């Protein structure tokens, strides 16, 4: 018996006696090593994005200050 249906109160529950060809049941939990790898990748990505954003903001401020200083 295979449950095919969505989550929610308005969606009907559909059960099939035999699974369709190529059906694989959903994985319930990701291994701890993979979760840790994804968390580390996200942490690095956020740090790089923060540094880049700070550098862009600083460059923008320098350009604005240069325009103000050189305006006659």
Domain limits, the chain: 2-70
pTM of the model: 0.55
Q: What is the per-residue pLDDT for 71?
A: 84
Give the model's pLDDT for residue 4: 66
Gap between the Cα atoms of 56 and 64, Å rounded = 12
Alpha-helix runs per DSSP H in 10-31: none
Residue ranges, the chain, pLDDT below 50: none
């Amino acid at each position: 018996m295979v449950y095919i249906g969505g989550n929610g109160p308005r969606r009907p529950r559909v059960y099939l006696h035999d699974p369709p060809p190529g059906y694989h049941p959903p994985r319930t939990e990701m291994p701890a090593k993979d979760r840790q790898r994804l968390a580390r990748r996200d942490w690095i990505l956020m740090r790089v994005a923060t540094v880049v954003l700070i550098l862009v903001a600083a460059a923008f401020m320098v350009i604005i200050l240069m325009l103000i200083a050189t305006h006659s």
